[in-house]
Amino acid sequence: MLSWFLLQSLSKDKLSVFLFHKVPQQCDPLVPADVSMARFEQLLDHTFSKLHVLPLEEAIGRLQAGTLPRRAACITFDDGYPDWLAGVAPALRRRNLHATFFITSGQFDGAPLWHERILAAVRRLPGPSLDLGIPFLPAQPVGSTDDRRSQVQRLEQELKYLTLYRREQILQHLEAEAGVRATDVPVMTEAQLRDLHSQGFGIGAHTALHPILDYCNADEVEREVGGARERLQAIVRGPVNGFAYPNGRPYADFSRLHVDAVKRAGYRYAVTTHWGVAGATTSPYQIPRFTPWAERDWHVTYQLVRNLMTEPMQVPEVPI
């Protein structure tokens, strides 16, 4: 009762946006932090049942118009995973809940998600150690599941902040060591994306190759931001109005230059990964999001309440 009262009182003119990624039926031992399908359905039943879930684009419009209901919330997903069609999409539809899926478009042109390539390669490394001959990636053991889990985390963190060219070089080296190919990694197909769109879910862009935009040159930014929108619109045969910044932290991962690029590309809104809620003064091109990681429902409610009291960070914007 107290939690409902706090949500009701704190949520006036505020929009909570939830962020999820892969939601497997069972968590991979190498990525145990993923939200499992069972846990996701529990969140739908015990957390989102307390909230007024709206389509993201509608919610942003109502926030700007001053007609947002209390306890307003949106559900979003990043990257693009084929098992969404068998898992989260039916779970959402059974509860009549909307979600927006931000998709990396490169996978429709033969470029699987780069962090999924790391996972596939580390799983197949022969062991007992991994040595790529790179100074900032010294040799490390891969003899146990714990070792391989650590390598997945290390490689993702190190490769994240590289140029697209350098990241691809290391990925190919890693795949050669493991005896796997990028094409072995499951990707979402164009038909699956159209299926998701036809079910009424929102489709947004999440770049083509998921780079950190601050590590891209001007031409790459235009391709990653504008090109992704054009590719996705051609597939779904409809408008793609939303964009999600890769990694999504203001100042650390994107700047006002990238906000400007999103505006020029024709998007109507964009989302970050900075905690907090959107209010009347929040830019529609920097809508904050957060992921509840707690295992107990009361703790998730506490996280939601705390998030309602968090002021999101935004980079300054300059009118085009």
pLDDT digits (tens, 9 = 90+) for 174-196: 999 999 999 999 999 999 999 99
Q: Exposure pattern of 281-294 as b/e (b: 16+ CB <10 Å)?
A: ebbbbbbbbbebee
- Single-letter residue type at 273: T
48 and 68 both lie in a single domain: yes
64 and 156 both lie in a single domain: no
Could you tell me the two tokens for 196?
A: 């998701």
309/1 Cα distance (integer angstroms): 19
User: Average pLDDT for residues 57-66, to the nearest whole number?
Assistant: 97
Report pLDDT digits (tens) over 108-135. 999 999 999 999 999 999 989 999 999 9
Any alpha helices (H) in 161-217, and if so which ranges?
A: 164-178, 190-198
Name the domain count of the chain. Answer: 2
* Within a domain: 33: yes
* Within a domain: 7: yes
Q: Which residues lie closer than 8 Å to 194 by C-beta, 6 or more apart?
A: 235, 236, 237
Nearest Cα to 120, choosing from 189, 171, 190, 193? 171
Could you tell me the two tokens for 80?
A: 């693009």
Report pLDDT digits (tens) over 133-163. 999 999 999 999 999 999 999 999 999 999 9
Instruction: Give this prediction's pTM.
Output: 0.97
Name the domain boundary from 157, 184, 211. Answer: 184
138 and 281 both lie in a single domain: no
104 and 122 both lie in a single domain: no
9 and 145 both lie in a single domain: no
37 and 139 both lie in a single domain: no
105 and 121 both lie in a single domain: no
* Within a domain: 282: yes
155/168 Cα distance (integer angstroms): 12
59/167 Cα distance (integer angstroms): 37
Q: Where in the sequence is the domain holding 249, given as residue range(s)?
A: 2-110+202-308
In the block, residue with structure tokens 């022969």: 126
